[in-house]
Amino acid sequence: MSVEGLHVERFGSGAPVIFVHGSFGSAASAFAGQRPLSESHELIFVDRRGFGGSLAVEQIGWETDAADVVSLLDEMGPAHLVGHSYGGVVCLLAAGMRPDAVTSLVAVEPPLFTAAAGDPAADQLTEKTRAVAERAPDLEIEDFMREWGASMGQSRFEVEAWTSGFSESGWAAAESSRRERWAGDAPLDYDALAEARFPKVLVHGGWNPEVVGHKAKVGAGFAAVCRAIAERIGGEVEQFAGSAHTPQHEEAAAFNALLRRVWGSAT
């Protein structure tokens, strides 16, 4: 595959599946639990611009990322799309741009918070994450990480414990996340997605309050987003009760079973 500057890894053979990761990582780290699916499908792990092995560009974010996915679809033909978090927004955008080239769509907790405007938890996430995004260009990376973490319900100590294990590539991904365009109001083509006949699934975690504490309100916001988008595009909503934001990690076997079901139902 020859999209200039875009790092792509391919595993297995069969019907192709494009995987798009979220912030603070790479495709390899975000979808490690999905590697066994290469026994039946060709997995295409895409590093977003500025993440993993992909070169950074001046404008990091969903507009460039969606164009990259469309370029891959144009080059290789129809494919399934799987996106996590920010990558879920990217896949929703790309599917709306080229619905004829998509065979199924699974988006995991996309942070398109304005889609659920009027829901208290989603509105709070809109307010907090947009404020951090507006300040991000003027923040040092450590301050950005603390403010972003706080917008997601994380304490300063939780953020410091997380970032203490960052490698050089981890900090590079954090810097790209600081620069990326806020995805909370990305302009989905809801009409095109609603008309599309391929399977469309929005996935969210259960965010058990006994496990995540006060962060359960963050999970409620993501759940509201998934319900709102699914309602507008004629999609299905799946909850993984034992997970928070990363069911593809936390419940990998069950998540993979969902993917197999969705892919098997695509015509």
Q: Convert the pLDDT of each residue in 19-42 to its tens digit.
A: 999 999 999 999 999 999 999 999
Q: In what order do the strands lie in the sheet with 8-11?
A: 8-11, 41-46, 15-20, 79-84, 102-108, 200-205, 236-240
pLDDT for the residue 56: 77
pLDDT for the residue 2: 65
- Taking residues 90-99, report their average pLDDT: 98
pLDDT for the residue 1: 60
- Taking residues 204-223, report their average pLDDT: 97
Q: How does strand 8-11 pair with strand 102-108?
A: unpaired
- Taking residues 206-218, report their average pLDDT: 96
pTM over 0.85: yes
Q: Which domains does the chain have, with CATH numbers?
A: 8-113+183-265 (3.40.50.1820), 120-179 (no CATH)
pLDDT for the residue 88: 99
Cβ atoms of residues 19 and 27 within 8 Å: yes
pLDDT category, 229, cuts 50, 70, 90? very high
CA gap 17, 73 in Å, rounded:
10
Q: How does strand 200-205 pair with strand 8-11?
A: unpaired
Q: Convert the pLDDT of each residue in 105-148 to its tens digit.
A: 999 999 999 999 999 999 999 999 999 999 999 999 999 999 99
Q: Convert the pLDDT of each residue in 139-148 to its tens digit.
A: 999 999 999 9
CA gap 73, 81 in Å, rounded:
10
CA gap 212, 220 in Å, rounded:
12
Contact partners, residue 229, CB within 8 Å, separation at least 6: 92, 107, 110, 112, 115, 188, 202, 235
Tokens of 219: 């999970």
pLDDT for the residue 3: 75
Mean pLDDT of the chain: 96
Q: How does strand 102-108 pair with strand 79-84?
A: parallel
Ordered DSSP codes for 156-202: HHHHHHHHTT--HHHHHHHHHHHHSPP-TT----HHHHHH--S-EEE
pLDDT at 5 over 80: no
Q: Convert the pLDDT of each residue in 152-190 to its tens digit.
A: 999 999 999 999 988 898 999 999 999 999 999 999 999
pLDDT category, 60, cuts 50, 70, 90? confident
CA gap 70, 64 in Å, rounded:
10
Of 246 and 4, the one with more pLDDT = 246
- Taking residues 230-256, report their average pLDDT: 98
Of the candidates 214, 222, 219, the residue with the CA atom closest to the CA atom of residue 88 = 222
What is the percent of the chain with per-residue pLDDT over 70, rounded to a whole number? 99
